[in-house]
Structure 1
Amino acid sequence: MKKWYAVIGDPISHSMSPSMHSKWFADLSIDATYIPLHIKRDRLVNAVQSLKCLGASGWNVTIPHKETIIPLLDRLDSTAAMMGAVNTVVVEEDGSLTGYNTDGIGFVNSLEEAMGTNLKELPILIIGAGGAARGIAFALKTQGYKSISCANRTIESSKRLINDIEGDRALSLSQAESELAQFLIIIQTTPAGMKTSEVDMPMSLENVTSSAIVADIVYNPLLTPFLAEAKDRGARCLNGVGMFVHQGAFSFQKWTNRKPDTKQTIEQVEQTLGGPHVNR
């Protein structure tokens, strides 16, 4: 019987996951399909039950469900449990649900692929404290990055994240703005700048240094207002395409035990969206 997979989120119309996974299924001659499902916050419980009843073999989870889906799963792998966020669900043979998080390692792979591997001593600022931020923070810490701080609109969330990873500092957005020159890797993890977002910028980059690496995990559009300002100020910039492709590839492997071609896919996604990584 043909298998099927999905991505759930709100919003979801912007997602390129269906086209990416469908191409991988075709490239590897796997008889499966992948669809987007727009699931509102208050329908998540019903949606998970429906996905199981309708025979989905697994699904990806995006904003705003990465944390709230956890109580609906039967188990988490150690990485997702440590991060407190899930972006990949596998339906096991007995029908139980296992949650994984591939966001963090997907981002680290993208960062090092684009900027090199000698970055572990650089001071890092993560903007945002949601599911994606947690995944990235834990992955960076696990991979040996030394100095990680977090800034968020709600500083209590920043403090929780920093405490959980034994990081450096929890900052308000205004504090981070004034002290931005101290950070040499700045990672924007909020929805700000997405085509579906009403917010363009999470914070000002007036004080960013030209020697900084500025990353935005948003991949559509390629050049968010955040990256555009960073580019204008001379920083090296990284958009979200690499993370998007690498996290998807790890999800794909969880479902199929097959490894897709990430390099070719990154090039194809960038071409579709209108250009390469920005100002690397």
Structure 2
Amino acid sequence: MEDQYYVIGQPIGHSMSPTMHNEWFLKNNISGHYSAKEVGVSELESVMTEFRSSVKGFNVTAPLKVEIMQYLDEIDPLAKAIGAVNTVINKNGLLYGKNTDGIGYCRGLSFVLKKPIEQEKILIIGAGGAARAILYSLLHLGVKQITVTNRTLEKAHELVDGKFMNEVNIMSISDAEEKLGQFSLIIQTTSVGMKPNENSIPLSLANLSSNTVVSDLIYSPFKTAFLKDAEQRNAIIQNGLPMFIYQGALAFQEWTGIFPNTIDAYTLLERKLGGTKC
């Protein structure tokens, strides 16, 4: 009988996770099956009761990454610091929560970085949940030069939360645009550029230095207007697909003890998304 795994959230029908994980189960000769299950906040408690006895592990996406924490028996320190969980491991009925988003993102950057990540001078655009996961993971990895910019500066200050005021700079959008040339890695974490606003960009790249790495967490559209603009300015670009793959690969490793083939997963999902490598 196959072990059952899920991704839960609302909406969830668009998720590429079942395609990726089921391919990994097949390629690694593991008797497992991964499904998407639509779960809202009001249904979460009953689903957790069911999952304790019926699944080996599951992923969590919006709007449940924070809500899930109250139903878990133990939470990894990094996930606690981030304040969100995206991966749950079931160990004999006890549920353990982790967050692989930020570390998965950093692993995915290995495709494009030319030097160790701790040597990069980084600008994070945005102050939401994705920015928080990436910021805390970068700090966890020892990165020392991080600046956060956001259209609402109050939210940027809430993200840094006083704990990292000596380690993380906060900058207005206009200042970030003016000083853009000083950054070696720019990370776009907002939803700006997603459908139906594909032509929108979060800030001007007029002062971007060539060979800067510009990363956008969005992968549909496969190449956002922000990445197209960066590419025209001779930047090295990357969309959100490597982050998606690596966060999933780290979850798969937690459940099975096997780190799966991420290169094949990239090729598979790239084809399904109708994109070209970026």
The bucket for the TM-score relative to the shorter chain is 0.7 to 0.9
**Are 2:265 and 1:268 aligned?**
no
Q: 2:151 aligned with 1:153, yes or no?
A: yes
> What is aligned with 1:29?
29
Q: CA deviation at 1:122?
A: 2.7
Compute the TM-score of the two structures, normalised by the length of structure 1: 0.87
RMSD: 2.4
Map Cα deviations across residues 53-103 of structure 1 (whole Å, 9 max, x no partner). 15233221223432343233232112211222211112221x232210111
| Overall identity of the aligned pairs, in % | 42
Paired position in structure 1 for 2:107: 109
Once the two structures are superposed, the pairs formed by residues 27-106 of structure 1 within 5 Å of their partners are 27-39=27-39, 43-53=40-50, 55-93=54-92, 95-106=93-104
Measured after TM superposition, the shift of residue 150 of structure 1 is 1.2
Distance 1:98 1:213, change over 3 A: same
Instruction: Render the CA deviation track for 1:114-134: whole Å, top value 9, x for unaligned.
Output: 223334333211112222222
Between 1:50-59 and 1:238-247, the stretch displaced more is 50-59
- Cα offsets for 1:19-78 (capped at 9, x unmatched): 000111111222222122334xxx324224314315233221223432343233232112
State the one-letter code of the partner of 1:89.
V
Amino acid at match of 1:126: I
**CA deviations over 1:215-265 (Å, ceiling 9, x no partner):** 011222220122112112221101112111111010011112222111221
Indicate conservation of the 8 Å contact 1:194/1:224, yes or no.
yes
Say if 1:90 and 1:118 are closer, same or farther in 2 by CA, change over 3 A: closer
Change (3 A) 1:117 1:45: farther
What residue ranges of structure 1 are gaps of 5+ in the alignment?
none
Q: How many residues align?
A: 274
- CA separation of 1:2/1:222 partners in 2, compared to 1, >3 Å: closer, same or farther? same
Alignment of 1:195-274 (within 5 A): 195=195, 200-274=200-274
* Normalised TM-score (structure 2): 0.87
More displaced stretch, 55-64 vs 133-142: 55-64
Aligned pairs for 1:103-142 within 5 A: 103-142=101-140
Q: Cα–Cα, structure 1 residues 240 and 23, in superposed 2: closer, same or farther, change >3 Å?
A: same
Q: Give the match's secondary structure for 2:168.
A: coil
Letter in 2 for 1:211: N
